[in-house]
Homo-oligomer: A and B are copies of this chain.
């Protein structure tokens, strides 16, 4: 029986948003900003002197190749911290999927807090650890899963986020495609296919219901 390498020493009280320790600290210090749909929150190659947290809305991090090919690194939902990087310059840009409220704080503030509070650094580590776990799942998805498995995996993730039977896709088909390493047409076809197999059912373009979660889980690989 070993203790976890990283464990928060600050415990959160009741909170309106899903939270981790780092989010708690930020909520005491951060300034709020709003961003419009597709507005850039930070750009590739900018300095990493700010750390962010989603209050409302959804954020994506993206990377562009010279010829315009785009890869989405991750999506960040309400309560999640993003933009905490270790290097000097950003490796991704971040944009608002739709209208967003974001909390910002200086990284240096976090650092000086860490000098007196020994609980801060493990928390930052945990935030990065989550990034790493997700990136590694992403690698398996992109390296070895079929188009159908990729789409099913994303739907599972989104559906798991709000435990209800109805789930909301906050991103466009293009965003899904750029996250899954596919094209919009393939994403659309796989969604239709999953629907024709009665695994999911779409209510609107962005709202779906999981009809057979066992099948969806199996199809996600």
Contact = CB atoms under 8 A, between A and B. Distances in A.
With most chain B CB atoms within 10 A of its CB, the pick from A3, A91, A131, A139 is A139
Interface residues of A, number: 48
A124 B73 contact: no
Interface string A174-198: 0000101100000000000000000
With most chain B CB atoms within 10 A of its CB, the pick from A88, A124, A125 is A125
Contact of A125 (B65, B70, B124, B139): B124
Interface string A86-97: 111001100000
Nearest to A47: B2
A4 B63 CA distance: 22
Contacts of A178: 143
Given A121-B125, A132-B135, A144-B181, 18 more contacts: A2-B47, A4-B86, A4-B88, A5-B84, A5-B85, A5-B86, A5-B110, A5-B111, A63-B136, A65-B140, A71-B139, A71-B143, A85-B129, A86-B129, A125-B128, A132-B132, A135-B135, A138-B139
Interface of A: 2-6, 47-49, 63, 65-66, 69-71, 73, 84-88, 91-92, 107-108, 110-111, 121-122, 124-126, 128-129, 131-133, 135-136, 138-140, 142-144, 178, 180-181, 221
28 contacts: A2-B48, A2-B88, A4-B87, A5-B86, A5-B110, A6-B86, A63-B136, A63-B140, A65-B140, A65-B144, A65-B221, A66-B221, A69-B144, A71-B140, A85-B129, A86-B126, A86-B133, A87-B133, A92-B136, A124-B125, A125-B125, A128-B132, A131-B132, A132-B132, A139-B139, A139-B142, A142-B181, A143-B180
